[in-house]
Amino acid sequence: MANALYYGDNLQVLREHIRDESIDLIYLDPPFNSNATYNVLFRAPGGKGSEAQIEAFEDTWHWGEAAAAAFDAVIRGSHTDAATMLRAMRSFLGENDMMAYLAMMAVRLIELHRVLKPTGSLYLHCDPTASHYLKVLLDAVFGVECFVNEVSWKRTSAKSDFVQGATHFPRVRDVLLRYKREVRQRCTFNQPFTAYDETYLLSKYPHVDTAGRRYGLWDMTGPGGAAKGNPSYEVMGVTRFWRYSREKMSELIAAGRVIQPKPGAVPRLKRFLDEQKGVPVGDDWDDIDPINSQAQERLGYPTQKPLALLERIIAASSNPGDVVLDPFCGCGTAVHAAHKLGRHWLGIDITHLAISLIERRLKDAFPDIAFEVHGTPKDLEGARDLAQRDKHQFQWWAVSLVDAVPQAGRKKGADRGIDGIRFVQVGPKAGEVERVIVSVKGGENVGVKDIRDLRGTVEREGAIAGLFLTLAEPTRDMKREAAAAGTVEIPFAHRPVGRIQIYTIAELLAGMRPDLPGLGRHEGFKRAPREKRAGQQGALEL
């Protein structure tokens, strides 16, 4: 199986598509149970924020049928430690929102443990809202002995919460809980390093040789003397307990790496700066900046994490050619970093909005990339099924077929008759664009009233045109009403185009596209910068 994105519930995808011990590294950044609603802010031409926004997901969990089913699945399952721990948590917490979150996470963590290779690692990205509960849950699923690190990432600078009357220290960090799969198996780990600061360099590497190489002189004596097994012998007239054997010391002297600062002084080791890797990265990460409003990589998706953060995790805990899985892939930072670093990757998300964004992001960053997308409709039957299961996901998917961005959220009446927005170029200069309103209908009962409503929306919004996308075949009266709306002259079109255009989902699936000029991306998620290099991956069997 090639690099792939899966649209759907990650629990179902894991069970049906990912085989045992097939993944080298798992990174998951699930909703934090922070009771926040996250909106995607789209960008208008010229880079200004648009009024168009959509609720990407609600980071709130409630005890109900789904949570109870997840709890029962763990209790009835074969993972007895996880079942025991989850039962104890329910006894302590009761049937509340936190317990719902933990039950939904537990059943998924068991599946993630199943698919991880013996040499693999899992990183769970969370915050202090539930990190303590999640750590206990991970201890039960993976085993206490498989805990490796709790990494603290400084995700923001200190806030002025006290101005609003807060009585807590500003909350500025996220938590990364790292576990390995097997107790006795060494997991993949490549120690990352950061550069030395200037003060350290001047202190430890103050000398420069005739070739321009900076170096320092370091102690070679053996701490603890004979008690620690260090040999004693004479070097350049000085007898000490040394770190090295006589043979090794002779090699260093022959290589010119042992310096006696002055006659009678204790010889020291000559260490070149350019041979050092840097400062080993610890478990407190304050050197990776969060994504601010001006960051080039900012796409407009809530909770987007810096590419540098995922590059560090992937480089440290996997090797080129390994398989990286992100089961809550959001806007795709993990799969982007994995591809950039030459890894295979799999991403799963439950919203078509996220999958659509990742498709665009990857194609922008890696123009020659090839990957598969599973779970999104490929034919009319699949489109009908999605419309019946979730009308909002269907609308978001249909809007993407005309390269527009979704406008409507899940709240009733929030769309004002607008399911998507598309901008078309109407002048030679950047920003000389006009809006096209997109309306989507997934039911069988469509009629001339729908076209009249779209005409009214286009006029009310001052848009240049409207697109009506429908699962059902349009009636003759609908086509007449659309034709009655007339045409519009658009520069660069070299001909008039219909002000109201009707397209069936079947036509769009067959490759038909709206009769509009310059249907390039003028609004939507910000375009991801093109990467200069990327590891191209071949087929992978899972």
- Specify whether the CB–CB gap between 40 and 301 falls below 8 A: yes
pLDDT digits (tens, 9 = 90+) for 26-62: 999 987 654 444 444 344 444 443 344 444 445 457 8
pLDDT at residue 411, as a whole number: 53
Q: pLDDT tens, position by position, for the chain (542 residues)?
A: 479 999 988 999 999 999 999 999 999 998 765 444 444 434 444 444 334 444 444 545 788 898 899 999 999 999 999 999 999 999 999 998 899 999 999 999 999 999 999 999 999 999 888 999 999 999 999 999 999 999 999 988 776 677 777 888 888 899 999 999 999 899 999 999 999 999 999 999 999 999 999 999 999 999 998 999 999 999 999 999 999 999 999 999 999 999 999 999 999 999 999 999 999 999 999 999 988 877 888 877 777 899 999 999 999 999 999 999 999 998 899 999 999 999 999 999 988 878 888 998 999 999 999 999 998 888 999 999 999 988 888 998 999 888 887 875 555 545 578 998 888 877 666 667 888 999 999 988 999 999 999 999 999 999 999 999 999 999 999 999 999 999 998 776 667 889 999 999 999 999 998 988 754 444 455 678 888 755 444 444 44
284-311 as b/e: b if 16+ CB within 10 A: ebeebebbeeeeebbbbbbbbbbbbbbb
DSSP at 339: H
Tokens of 73: 């699945």
pLDDT at residue 3, as a whole number: 95
pLDDT at residue 518, as a whole number: 57
pLDDT at residue 295, as a whole number: 82
Helix residue spans in 18-153 (DSSP H): 65-76, 80-93, 97-115, 131-142
User: Based on the number of CB atoms within 10 Å of its own CB, is 509 exposed (0-12), middle (13-18) or buried (19 or more)?
Assistant: middle
CA 321 to chain centre: 19
Pairing of strands 487-489, 496-498: antiparallel
pLDDT digits (tens, 9 = 90+) for 316-350: 999 999 999 999 998 899 999 999 999 999 999 98
- Specify whether the CB–CB gap between 266 and 205 falls below 8 A: no
pLDDT at residue 423, as a whole number: 82
Give CA–CA dist 405/176, Å, rounded.
32
- Specify whether the CB–CB gap between 450 and 481 falls below 8 A: no
User: What does 425-475 look like in DSSP terms, one character per residue?
Assistant: E-SSSTT-EEEEEEEEE-SS---HHHHHHHHHHHHHHT-SEEEEEESSPPP
pLDDT at residue 35, as a whole number: 46
pLDDT at residue 32, as a whole number: 65
